[in-house]
Copies of this chain bind each other. A is one copy, B any other.
Amino acid sequence: MPMASNFLRGNNTFLTSILLLTFSQATAAATTRHFKWEVEYIFWSPDCLEGVVMGINGHFPGPTIRAKAGDTIVVELHNKLHTEGVVIHWHGIRQLGTPWADGTASISQCAINPGDHFVYRFKVDKPGTYFYHGHLGMQRSAGLYGSLIVDVADGQREPFRYDGEFSLLLSDWWHQGVHEQEVGLSSSPFRWIGEAQSVLINGRGQYNCSLAAQFSNSSSSSTGQCEFTGREQCAPEILTVEPNKTYRLRIASSTSLQSLSLAIKNHAMVVVEADGNYVQPFSVDDMDIYSGDSYSVLFKTDQDPTMNYYISASVRGRKPNTTQALTILNYKPNSASDPPKLSPPVAPAWNDYAHSKAFTSKIFARVGSPAPPTSFDRRIVMLNTQNNIDGAYIKWAINNVSLILPPTPYLGAIKYKLKNVFDAANPPDDYDREYDVMNPPVNRNTTLGSGVYNIELGSTVDIILQNANALAANVSEIHPWHLHGHDFWVLGYGEGKFNEKEHERSLNFKNPPLRNTAVIFPYGWTALRFVADNPGVWAFHCHIEPHLHMGMGVVFALGVHRVGNIPREALACGVTAKMPMSNVTATNRG
């Protein structure tokens, strides 16, 4: 890693200049921030080709929410779609005390009907880099997402210093509409969505031109140089910096499918935050970002200031069929349109998992972070398999159950003890350990299920995510798993089949990072621990949108009797819409 080495050599005060956060009481009162959003389809050209995108207030991506820790966010969401429901999930926000505002259709609330509205009201209790996105069908893939940045409360300081900051929300984009994608995924024969046409940085990508055409082999490439005035919807958002400063780069990935590698040419990055939690700073030249991840990195503008530099986001973990997304790090006073003299960063080979694991293994909780409980009350081992249904349709399953969501949301159904809303049987806590994770399943068929894991409130729960071979031989995929309502500690990763005897001692109980998303590598396992202390019903699922759509998720229910008054608007569907109002406390009446 010559760049990082160079960088660190020349800037040996950089890491040490990162300041420790002094935890102190906020000196200013938290405020309530009101937003009024309209969701509708709009024509947009995310990658210079026009298509239909799900926009908010006429714009794609949606507006950035910026708040301070302790603030209350109020989003009055108006559904201006003609036929579709909508919800918005606030990814990484734990919704302490407001589980009905988690924005998961069929889980935390009824989808907002066309023409109707819903008020999301929740507290952002923890500074960090977050984002929000649709959580019904594949509306995230349709473009329903945006950034959510929480600064430290007034009077607080981040445990590091920087002179400026940028936020990059990464996503991927298909030219085929999501409705057609959904039909393909649900069809027999199965039709896979394929790789993305473009990777987008803040909703901007280039499909039919290149920001780095001068470096492409003109004899083999048909992609010419992009020419932008800067006003085009697909014109890159330029990061303009001053020399010899430190910048914070906030990065979040809302991709539907693609795992990405981010790099800034010739500039090392020091990772300081992951998923809204501080991590022990470490330096890298490139970093892997899976769907659902968020990070903050610091970088110094200490390179030759007479040049601009490429920033790249490249596909990893799947044989790439999607061009590297680029934007420009523009040193002042150079013109932003000066083409960088150095070629874009070269991403590691797509299947260089050793490189990915090396990155992941560097992430530790910042000194002073809370450590996990030393023991668990319950350990759930979750085998991730690809399966058939009826020998035809293709699904993903956890312990041989492929999740299918009921029309009545779990939260209301459990709180009001409604019957026959979802499968009464609980999914299993383990799989047959004789299962061969290195080969395609012998019994390919799985079952659909809507049962929940009932978790004891306050208990410590371990999750062992166990990857396996897919339906085809010699294929095992990456799955980034995201937990709602809680952060978890990532205790460790390993190869092959998790085995208590062998692997327990390898787990990290000392300084595991707190996160809300963690990956399982092909043929590997990942061990997580969380304290189930937030009453509600919470999704835990692969954050790859088509995988969730194909059933790759589970539902945790805990302490629902402790959940306060669910707004009536969140119950206006399915069986909850028909229950006698006497079941609902008076304050819920609309």
> Does A286 touch B at the CB level, under 8 Å?
no
Q: Are A572 and B573 in contact (CB-based, < 8 A)? A: yes
Stretch at the interface among A90-98, A112-120, A254-262, A502-510: A112-120
Please measure, in the bound complex, the distance between the C-alpha atom of A110 and the C-alpha atom of B115, giving whole angstroms: 11
> Does A106 touch B at the CB level, under 8 Å?
yes
Q: Are B582 and A578 in contact (CB-based, < 8 A)? A: no
Contacts of A40 in B (CB 8 A): 183, 186
Q: Are A407 and B113 in contact (CB-based, < 8 A)? A: yes
Q: Are A179 and B580 in contact (CB-based, < 8 A)? A: no
Please measure, in the bound complex, the distance between the C-alpha atom of A116 and the C-alpha atom of B409, giving whole angstroms: 12
Contacts of A86 in B (CB 8 A): 83
**Most B-side CB within 10 Å, residue of A42, A184, A574, A577:** A577
Q: Interface residue tally of chain A, by bracket? A: 35 or more
> Does A136 touch B at the CB level, under 8 Å?
yes
Contact of A106 among B85, B115, B579 (CB under 8 A): B115
- In the assembled complex, the CB of A43 is this many whole angstroms from the nearest CB of chain B, namely 6
Within 8 A of B (CB), among A135-193: 136-139, 177, 179-180, 182-184, 186-187, 191
Contact of A137 among B82, B111, B571 (CB under 8 A): B82
Within 8 A of B (CB), among A391-416: 405-407
Please measure, in the bound complex, the distance between the C-alpha atom of A568 and the C-alpha atom of B579, giving whole angstroms: 10
Q: Are A52 and B179 in contact (CB-based, < 8 A)? A: yes
> Does A84 touch B at the CB level, under 8 Å?
yes
Q: Are A138 and B82 in contact (CB-based, < 8 A)? A: yes
Within 8 A of B (CB), among A67-110: 82-86, 106, 110
Q: Are A137 and B83 in contact (CB-based, < 8 A)? A: yes
Q: Are B83 and A111 in contact (CB-based, < 8 A)? A: yes
> Does A41 touch B at the CB level, under 8 Å?
yes
Contact of A574 among B116, B183, B186, B571 (CB under 8 A): B116
Within 8 A of B (CB), among A548-590: 549, 568-569, 571-575, 577-582, 589-590
Contacts of A579 in B (CB 8 A): 590
Contacts of A111 in B (CB 8 A): 83, 113-114
Q: Are B42 and A183 in contact (CB-based, < 8 A)? A: yes
Contacts of A136 in B (CB 8 A): 82-83, 114
- In the assembled complex, the CB of A169 is this many whole angstroms from the nearest CB of chain B, namely 22
- In the assembled complex, the CB of A525 is this many whole angstroms from the nearest CB of chain B, namely 31
**Most B-side CB within 10 Å, residue of A85, A113, A580, A589:** A113
Shortest Cβ distance from A139 into B: residue:
B83
Q: Are A182 and B407 in contact (CB-based, < 8 A)? A: no
Shortest Cβ distance from A110 into B: residue:
B113
Shortest Cβ distance from A582 into B: residue:
B581
Contacts of A139 in B (CB 8 A): 83
Contacts of A575 in B (CB 8 A): 590
Please measure, in the bound complex, the distance between the C-alpha atom of A32 and the C-alpha atom of B177, giving whole angstroms: 41
Shortest Cβ distance from A580 into B: residue:
B581
Q: Are B179 and A574 in contact (CB-based, < 8 A)? A: no
Q: Are A116 and B573 in contact (CB-based, < 8 A)? A: yes
Given contacts A52-B180, A179-B179, contact A578 B572 (CB under 8 A): yes
Please measure, in the bound complex, the distance between the C-alpha atom of A572 and the C-alpha atom of B574, giving whole angstroms: 8
Shortest Cβ distance from A85 into B: residue:
B83
Contact of A52 among B84, B183, B573 (CB under 8 A): B183
Please measure, in the bound complex, the distance between the C-alpha atom of A41 and the C-alpha atom of B83, giving whole angstroms: 14
Contacts of A82 in B (CB 8 A): 136-138, 182, 549
Q: Are B187 and A43 in contact (CB-based, < 8 A)? A: yes
**Most B-side CB within 10 Å, residue of A106, A182, A572:** A572
Q: Are B572 and A116 in contact (CB-based, < 8 A)? A: no
Please measure, in the bound complex, the distance between the C-alpha atom of A181 and the C-alpha atom of B549, giving whole angstroms: 26
Contacts of A572 in B (CB 8 A): 572-574, 577-578
Contact of A85 among B85, B549, B569, B578 (CB under 8 A): B85
Contacts of A574 in B (CB 8 A): 113, 115-116, 572
Q: Are B41 and A182 in contact (CB-based, < 8 A)? A: yes
- In the assembled complex, the CB of A134 is this many whole angstroms from the nearest CB of chain B, namely 9
Shortest Cβ distance from A78 into B: residue:
B407
Please measure, in the bound complex, the distance between the C-alpha atom of A40 and the C-alpha atom of B113, giving whole angstroms: 18
Please measure, in the bound complex, the distance between the C-alpha atom of A572 and the C-alpha atom of B113, giving whole angstroms: 10
Contact of A578 among B186, B406, B589 (CB under 8 A): B589
**Most B-side CB within 10 Å, residue of A52, A82, A111, A116:** A82
Other A-B contacts than A42-B183, A43-B184, 16 sampled, CB-CB below 8 A, are: A43-B187, A52-B180, A82-B549, A83-B138, A84-B85, A85-B114, A111-B113, A113-B113, A114-B136, A115-B405, A115-B406, A177-B177, A179-B179, A568-B577, A580-B581, A580-B589
| Sampled A-B contacts (20; CB under 8 Å) | A43-B183, A43-B184, A82-B136, A83-B84, A83-B86, A83-B138, A83-B139, A84-B85, A85-B114, A110-B113, A113-B113, A113-B573, A113-B574, A114-B407, A115-B405, A116-B574, A177-B179, A568-B578, A569-B577, A578-B589
